[in-house]
Amino acid sequence: MVKKIAAFDIFGTCFGFSNVIEVIEKEFGAEIKEAGTTPAHVMMSWFYATQRDFTYLSISGSYTAMPKVFAATLPRALAIALDPAPDYPSVSRVRSFPKDKMDRVLAELKQLKGRPGLVDAFSTLWDAGFEIYAVSNGAKEGTKALLATLDDSNSNRKDVFVNGEFDKYIVSCDEVQKAKPSPEIYARTLELAGADPKQGDECWFIAAHSWDLLPARNAGFKTAYVDFEEIYPCEEIYGKPDVFEDGLAKAAKKIVGEI
C-alpha cells in the first residue's frame, strides 16, 4: 500500500511573524522610522540572519538551539537597522538596548500566528489520506505549543492539536543536533514516517524557502513552494518546485489534484 506524507516547514511557512513585527514597532518604532526602515524589514533581516547563524553554528560543530540564536542576534539586528551611517564608522552607533524591550520582542516568538489557509491545507491533505509532519528548526515542545493554538474547529481532527497528539509527527533539529538544510533532517522525517519515495510512496515537502526544498528534493520528496515570504524562488540555483502557489490551502489542493 502506497504511503502518503506531507512534511511542512514551521517558521515562516506555517507560522508568520506579524505579532512580532507589531511588538518591534511598539518597542522600537520611533527609532526604526528615524533610521528610514520598517519593523517588518527589521524582523525579516533578524530572521534570515538567525537562520544563517543557526546553520553556520551547526556546520561548525557547535549546534545551538534556535531560541538561543534568536536571543543572541536580536541586538545585532537592531544595531544594524538603526545605524545612521552603515558605510562609515559612526560615533552615534547604538550597541546596546533595554533588556525589558528585547524580552518583550523575544516573548512573541512563542505566540506566532498560523498562516492563512494552514488548517484548511492540513484538512485537505488529511482527507486525501496523507499523514502530516512538522519539520522544525525550533524545539519540539515549542513547535507542539504553536500547533496547539490552531483552531481546527471545522475538522474532526481538532484533538490532534489541542491534546498534543501531534507530538509523534514532529521532527525537530534538536533531535539530531543538526540544522536544516542538513540531509539528516529530511532522512529522519522519512524514517519517522516509515516512508520511502524509492518504493513509490508519495512524499511531499512544503516550505516558503527554496533552500529548504532543495535538500528535501535530494532526499526524494516532491516539493511545494509558497511565495508569501521570499516571493522569488531563485529557480536558477534551487531548481523548480513541483507546485508553486501563493497560499497553503491552494498548494494542498494542487498536491491532492483538486486544482
pTM of this structure: 0.93
pLDDT tens readout for residues 86-121: 666 665 677 789 999 999 999 999 999 999 999 999
The amino acid sitting at 194 is G
- Cα gap 73→188, rounded to integer Å: 28
Classify residue 242 by its DSSP letter: S
Q: What's the pLDDT at 163?
A: 60
Q: What's the pLDDT at 47?
A: 97
- In three-state form (DSSP H/G/I as H, E/B as E, the rest C), the secondary structure along 150-171 is CCCCCCCCHHHHHCCHHHHHEE
* pLDDT tens digit at each of 259 positions of the chain: 899 999 999 999 999 999 999 999 999 999 999 888 999 999 999 999 999 999 999 999 999 999 999 999 999 999 989 886 666 666 567 778 999 999 999 999 999 999 999 999 999 999 999 999 999 999 999 999 899 888 655 555 555 655 667 788 999 999 999 999 999 999 999 999 999 999 999 999 999 999 999 999 999 999 999 999 999 999 999 999 999 999 999 999 999 998 7
Q: What's the pLDDT at 149?
A: 85
**What sign has the CA pseudo-torsion 228, 230, 234, 238?**
negative
Kindly list the domain boundaries of the chain, sorted by start residue. Answer: 4-16+112-256, 18-111
The amino acid sitting at 226 is V
Query: Which residue, chain included where needed, has cell 552603515?
Result: 86
Q: If one looks up domain 4-16+112-256 in CATH, what number appears?
A: 3.40.50.1000
pLDDT tens readout for residues 172-209: 999 999 999 999 999 999 999 999 999 999 999 999 99
Angle (CA) 127 131 132, round 5°: 100
Helix residue spans in 95-240 (DSSP H): 99-107, 118-127, 140-148, 158-162, 173-176, 183-193, 210-218, 235-238
C-alpha cell of residue 102: 528585547
- Cα gap 55→123, rounded to integer Å: 32
Q: What's the pLDDT at 23?
A: 98
Alpha carbon 117 to chain centroid, angstroms: 15
